A and B are shown apart, each in its own frame.
Chain A
Amino acid sequence: MSESAVLVSIAIGSTLASCVFTLFADKYPSILKSVVFPLLALSGLTSMGACLLVLTGAPGFSGVLPIGLPWLFWHIHLDALAGFFLGIIGVITFSISLFAPGYIREYIHSDYSLVVLGLATGLFITGMQLVVIANDAFVFMVAWELMSVSSYFLVAYEHKESANRHAAFLYLLMAQIGALFILLGFGVLAAFAGDFAFESFRVTELTPFWAAVAFGLGLAGFGMKAGIVPLHIWLPEAHPVAPSHISALMSGVMLKVAVYGFIRLVFDLLGDLHWSWGIVLLIVGSVTALYGVLYALMQHDLKRLLAYHSVENIGIIYIGLGLSVIFFSAGQTTFGVLGLIAALYHTLNHALFKSLLFLGAGAVLSRGHERNLEHMGGLIHRMPWTALFFLIGCISISALPPFNGFVSEWLTFQTALQATMLESGVLRAVIPITAAMLALTGALAAACFVKVYGIAFLGQARSRRVRHAREASKGMVIAQGLLAGLCLLFGVLPTTTVAALNRIAYDLTGHRVAAATQQGWLWLTPVDPKVASYSAPLILLGVLIILAIWASIYLLSRRQRRIQPVPRKAPWDCGFGPLNPRMQYSATAFAMPIRHVFRSMMRLQEEKIREMDPHLLTRPVGLRYLFHAKDISWHYLYLPVERLLHAAARRVGRIQTGHLRHYLAYSFFTLVFLLWLIT
């Protein structure tokens, strides 16, 4: 047994063991802190270990487990791609195992069962781990369903609120429809291969038509889970209502598992890539990215906003994949690999910063009991560490140098710039437009996170509970610090990361970008040093110099400050008397200009309610403003489908007359029909 196999078995074994121990959690809640979460941490660490092993060149493993159906044992396999995604699962699992003990404290004496929470979490992580190491369609689907169903229980965990039950049902419905598509996609492959093993899928040649069908089914099935527009509809409903560490797992990891499935299907199993698939991916990706960020801007529920940003980032990943497919199909393998690397890099980055942000939102929720941005404010004074790490998350997701989000977007841009190498004029024109959409998305994301950070953490507290919030527990802070550190690390060492990702690409496609890492760890040169170069460590050096200058001025003036402290005065209020927290800019107001610009792309509901004095009907006592941005895909896609289904069901319902003789007749004619069929 190779080392990686040992690590992976420990990882899965300890998650399953955590499920067993969690059964006693209701009786002895302390078992969670002392056994269950340490086991999850161990699972995370060993997953990361396996990832590091295969990415540094150690061989993976293949195996056949003696479980499953009599004629269909479970095939498992760990290669560089699977190892990479296992590593992502590991990192986030490890950090939530640090975060969760502090977070779930409030559930201990609540009406909700800790057993359900622990068990579903364990099974959920097991499911994801199994998905990435599955090597046949059967295991893949079993693991996929394990992942979907256990996460359903997590979304529905706080089931006493009807909104949560509704969200969970929507999630389960969409997950099952998605799984059906994936199953059909595998079915196409299995029909040609005559077998369910991925090994046989790989060697099978599909006809172009059926390859396109399998691609379409995969896009819809995995896209349903990943949250591409318009299949994302469950995501902003389900992610916010789960406990925050679970939201981090779902947004940070589960969506990535869907991306993994898609990459495995398209780049590994399907064989030859067709350029039109790339166009589809580009369009889907850019629409998803822009749609996600625009709706994120309109939200004032922090977790819902983050969920919409997951939609946006999935779009960015799909843009990278689309570029990769186009370049591979055109025979420009170097740039194809570059696009794939950009997509994988962004996958990693999104896992890190989105989990970080969800954990930060969780810390705010657990200490300030508030999810609504309009009631937050001034948290930087109350929760300085959370504020620092959340700031790092915001900078990373806004794609600003020198953090990690910037590197992957930069790589995507660099890939798009190579469009001049393509023969087709249409492709050469479409790719830059996609890049412009990506640029718009990035800039809007920055605006959105200025809003989030500025409204939630800066200014003055807008509600009493937030005004008295305390810093989160040590474990919660450390978990965020870890992820924030990784955001910086992967932002500053892009060359090392790209070298590791190169191995995955080589493993998967047989090609690599040699030039990217030739100039040493200091320089990232994706195509050629003359074409483009970026030195993240030197940019960081610049930022550090700035911080050092600030710190030295601050420290040097310390003595002077002691004699004469920096005067603090009330801010300018135009001479109208003291300002109060309600006079600050609100999140809705902040996004107003952008809403105005893009208003044609969404359905906005604005309501101004004037409350009148009940005794004197002409005297207003208050004015309330309600604002809600409804997802247009509900209006244009889901509601019509629902109406159609209802109408169809009513038609079909007519045969249910309620008379026994009619039902007997139905049975009789069915029997006759079947007899006629078999003779």
Chain B
Amino acid sequence: MNTFIIWLLALVQTALLVAIAPLFASWVKRIKCYLQNRRPPVLLQPYRDLRRLFAKKVVLADNASVIFRLAPYIVCGTTIMAAAVIPILIVQIPIASIADAIVLVGTFALGRFFLALAGLDVGTSFGGMGSSREMTIAALAEPAMLMVVFTLAMLASSSNLSTIVTYVLNQELVLRPSLLFALLALILVGIAETGRFPVDNPATHLELTMIHEAMILEYSGRHLALMELAAQLKFTIYAVLIANLFFPWGISQSLAPGALLLAVFSIAAKLTVLGAFLALSETTMAKMRLFRVPTFLAVAFTLSLLGMLSFIMLEGH
């Protein structure tokens, strides 16, 4: 009975995350609009967009192959799989042992592989340009991401996300330099991977700057809806990862209704604050030239490496 409930809860929390992903993206946009003296759209606008796109008919490019049609499902599906394995409300979910943090990175990579292929499928320069840039950025971001994972995994002696969260939750409140460096690195990696300022601009269709939008330029209808949802969900997953890995307080360690309610509120509060911070940083920063991005990611990598080394040199044993 208990296992049934816990599996059910795991599915419910995944569904919840998928459901609030557009809201989170909208929230960041809203704060950004306020900060930039613009009038924001209503908070539920992304849901309206998605509904409209799902209702619309698909139009395919002349040359589109099966990869192009399959990619939205793979991209969205792998992102939902990633959402399923991270601890959101409860620490010990059985589903988390399907995939540890390294598999999580691999799942994202699988989605990105198909996304980039879809960009090349139609045979326009836009798609190719987007794919090329996306894969370059991913190639540089992934090592940094894995170094963050390694730092956490060495800290908790485990690469299972549940175990890492439990470890951070139960340690006494000390400032660990390794955690701090890892946090900074993960924020930079998350910005690069989800295509936010200053790496990519999700709001533009200017060919010189766009990355993610260039790859999905030929999509329409439900395909586009799935791609948009996947992007919003990935953005939210990174936010949840940052929130729950480094500030896990409030996450429930049991199935008690009170604790679960607290967990819902705490993750909502954490995402609200995190979103506001992100909006603030996006407002104060200009987008980088593409060839500055490697430097940005090199900083992320150096930070994660510092985190790892400071754990080994200062905190080991």
Contact = CB atoms under 8 A, between A and B. Distances in A.
Given A436-B146, A440-B143, A395 B131 contact: no
Interface string A427-468: 011001101110110111011011101110011100000000
B150 A583 contact: no
A584 to B, nearest CB: 5
Interface in B148-174: 150, 153-154, 157-160, 163
A292 to B, nearest CB: 14
Given A432-B308, A596-B291, A419 B154 contact: yes
B113 interface: yes
Contacts of A583: 124-125
A417 B129 contact: no
Interface in B26-68: 57-67
Nearest to A541: B98
A425 B313 contact: yes
A428 B316 contact: yes
B146 A458 contact: no
B160 A531 contact: yes
B244 interface: no
Interface string B271-301: 0000000000000000000110010000001
A440 B142 contact: yes
Contact of B67 (A420, A458, A532, A573): A458
Contacts of A577: none
B51 to A, nearest CB: 17
Contacts of B228: none
Contact of B121 (A416, A436, A458, A596): A458
Nearest to A584: B123
Interface string A168-180: 0000000000000
A320 to B, nearest CB: 15
Nearest to B68: A458
A442 B57 CA distance: 38
Contact of A455 (B57, B120, B308): B120
A533 B63 contact: no
A531 B154 CA distance: 10
Interface residues of A, number: 81
B231 to A, nearest CB: 17
B97 to A, nearest CB: 4
A546 interface: yes
Interface in B123-150: 123-129, 131-133, 135-136, 138-143, 145-147, 150
Contacts of B66: 380
A459 B110 contact: no
Given A436-B147, A454-B116, A454-B117, A539 B98 contact: yes
Contact of A592 (B112, B132, B316): B132
A571 B65 CA distance: 13
| Residue with the highest number of chain B CB atoms closer than 10 Å, among A400, A569, A594 | A400
A259 to B, nearest CB: 24
A391 B159 CA distance: 29
Given A425-B312, A460-B63, A531-B157, A446 B122 contact: no
A561 to B, nearest CB: 10
A563 interface: no
B98 A566 contact: no
Interface string A548-585: 01100010000000000011111111000001010111
Contact of A590 (B131, B147, B154): B131
A400 B60 contact: no
B123 A571 contact: yes
B261 interface: no
B143 A436 contact: yes
Contacts of B309: 429
A381 B66 CA distance: 9
B313 A569 contact: no
A101 to B, nearest CB: 29
Contacts of B122: 459, 571
Nearest to A447: B135
Contact of A446 (B135, B150, B158): B135
Contacts of B200: none
Given A534-B98, A546-B73, A428 B136 contact: no
Given A446-B135, A546-B78, A570-B62, 9 more contacts: A398-B113, A410-B106, A413-B150, A428-B316, A443-B109, A450-B117, A450-B120, A454-B121, A584-B124
Q: 3 closest A-B pairs (Cβ-Cβ)?
A: A585-B128, A454-B120, A546-B77
20 contacts: A377-B123, A381-B65, A395-B110, A399-B109, A429-B309, A436-B147, A436-B150, A436-B301, A440-B142, A454-B117, A458-B120, A458-B123, A534-B99, A546-B74, A547-B70, A547-B73, A571-B123, A581-B123, A593-B133, A597-B140
